[in-house]
Structures are given as structure tokens and as C-alpha cells.
């Protein structure tokens, strides 16, 4: 098991994520009224239907496309020298420094500490009826898993296939998928924690909840 307490201290030393805002295609760049050090927000609304802060507009064949911030944060780098120039797809325009939330820190720690059972292919995933019933009655940690246990149903192109668990025995500590959503191949479906490691993980998560101070 990795030292998740040391990992938490490492995250505290650099409590942010740098998000590069790049062009999706070729075009002429016109920056919005924004400068380095400005605060930005990501998509807003219940369905994220309101776009984030406008970073720039990319115009190709008289068709302008808004390029907006994906997350809340601060502009730590702005490539203002590209103003008015024609750029290629994938050209970095800005960097947003996003300060990690408590939930994001927990997710990072858990994905490092738990055994991740990943999607074998892009598809929709569901727990088997028996497992789903246990989770609805209590929570995911009430479900003990073992090698070869039939755990999930993989649904793809109207074809449903049972999926057996592979990995160490333990309890389902985290669930990373939602029903009726396509999950990419290699993305984690669940995080499993061996019974003997539960106290250590719960202690560190408690530390995050009590010690982590969220910053704008």
C-alpha cells in the first residue's frame, strides 16, 4: 500500500492543477478582455448549460467559435502574443490554475490508494441486480468482492455481457461510473479497498475533510 499520508502532504505543497486551454481547430485568434491574474469560472447551471468565462474567439471562414474556461481558477499564463494571428489546432492560448477542492483531493488519494477495476471497453456499465440491491439498501462498502465474482453488466450496441471482478479481495470503497453513461475503455469503474487497509484510508480521508481549506 502506498503512503497516502505522504501523498496528501505532497498535494498540500502544490494544491492546484494547471489546465491548458488550446484551440480545437485552425483559425484567427481574438482574445477577450482578459489578462493574466484574472479569475475565471467554468460552465455554470444545473446542466452546465452556461459556458465558462470567455477566453478567446477563434474564427475560421467567418465562423467564430467561443473558447471558454473549463474550470474555476486564475489565468496563470496568457499567450497574448497570438492576438490576431492564424494558429493551428492544438495551439495553447492560456493556462488556468485551478485550486483543488476537498472532493478532488479525496478522489486523487483514493485513485492512488485503491485497487481500480477499469472498463475493458467503451460501454455502459451496471451492477448485477444482486449487487445493486445491496448498494441501494446500504452503500457500496457493504459489498465485498473477490476474484472471479460476477459483479457488473457491460452493455454495448444492444449486447449485454456479464463482467467478473479481477483483483484483490475487499470492499467497494468508491464507484466511478453512473448508469446510462458511456464509460471509456481504461476508465475506473470501482475502487476496491482490502478490509485490513480500511482504517488507514478512512483516517486520511478524515484528515482531508478536517484540514483541507478550499481556496478560490
pLDDT confidence tier of residue 213, bands split at 50, 70 and 90? confident
Cα distance between residue 211 and residue 216, in whole Å: 16
Average pLDDT, the chain: 93
Q: Residues 3-58: pLDDT tens digits?
A: 777 888 888 899 999 999 999 999 999 999 999 999 999 999 988 899 999 999 99
Average pLDDT over residues 80-94: 97
* pLDDT of 103 higher than 60: yes
In a domain? residue 30: yes
Which of 99, 130, 148 marks a domain boundary?
99
**93 and 110 share one domain:** no
Residues 63 and 108 occupy one common structural domain: no
Task: Name residue 153's beta-bridge partners.
Answer: 126, 162
pLDDT at 163: 96
Whether 157 is covered by a domain: the verdict is yes
2 contact partners, CB below 8 Å, separation of at least 6 = 112, 113
Asked whether residue 3 is domain-assigned, the answer is no
Cell of 159: 449486447
On whether residue 162 sits in a domain, the answer given is yes
Q: Structure pTM?
A: 0.75
Does the pLDDT at position 2 exceed 70? Answer: no
| 80 & 125 share domain | no
Domain boundaries, position 120: 103-211
**Do both 81 and 109 map to the same domain?**
no
pLDDT of 212 > 90? The answer is no
Please tell me whether residues 113 and 186 are part of one structural domain: yes
What is the dihedral sign for C-alpha 206, 210, 213, 214? positive
Domains contained in the chain, number: 2
pLDDT tops 70 at residue 171: yes
Residue 54: inside a domain? yes
Q: Please count the other Cβ atoms lying within 10 Å of the Cβ belonging to residue 147.
A: 10
Same domain? 177 vs 126: yes
Tens-digit pLDDT profile for residues 107-159: 998 888 899 999 999 999 999 999 999 999 988 888 999 999 999 999 998 89
Same domain, 79 and 122: no
CATH number of the CATH domain containing 187: 2.40.50.100
Instruction: Let me know if residue 195 belongs to a domain.
Output: yes
Cβ-contact 139, 171 below 8 angstroms:
no
Asked if residue 89 belongs to a domain, the reply is: yes
Amino acid at each position: 500500500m502506498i503512503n497516502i499520508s505522504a501523498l496528501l502532504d505532497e498535494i498540500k505543497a502544490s494544491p492546484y492543477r494547471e489546465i491548458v486551454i488550446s484551440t480545437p481547430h485552425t483559425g484567427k485568434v481574438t482574445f477577450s478582455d482578459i489578462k493574466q491574474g484574472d479569475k475565471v469560472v467554468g460552465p455554470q447551471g444545473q446542466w452546465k448549460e452556461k459556458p465558462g468565462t470567455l477566453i478567446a474567439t477563434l474564427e475560421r471562414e467567418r465562423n467564430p467559435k467561443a473558447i471558454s474556461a473549463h474550470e474555476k481558477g486564475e489565468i496563470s499564463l496568457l499567450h497574448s502574443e497570438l492576438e490576431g494571428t492564424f494558429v493551428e489546432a492544438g495551439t495553447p492560448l492560456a493556462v488556468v490554475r485551478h485550486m483543488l477542492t476537498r472532493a478532488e483531493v479525496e478522489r486523487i488519494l483514493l485513485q492512488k490508494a485503491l485497487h481500480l477495476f477499469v472498463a475493458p471497453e467503451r460501454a455502459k456499465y451496471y451492477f448485477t441486480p444482486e449487487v445493486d440491491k445491496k448498494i441501494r439498501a446500504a452503500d457500496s462498502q457493504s459489498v465485498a468482492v473477490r476474484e472471479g465474482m460476477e459483479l457488473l453488466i457491460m452493455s454495448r450496441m444492444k449486447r449485454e455481457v456479464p463482467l467478473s471482478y479481477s483483483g484483490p479481495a475487499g470492499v467497494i470503497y468508491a464507484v466511478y461510473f453512473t448508469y446510462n453513461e458511456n464509460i471509456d475503455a481504461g476508465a475506473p469503474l470501482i475502487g476496491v479497498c482490502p478490509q485490513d487497509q480500511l482504517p488507514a484510508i478512512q483516517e486520511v480521508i478524515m484528515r482531508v475533510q478536517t484540514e483541507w481549506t478550499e481556496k478560490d
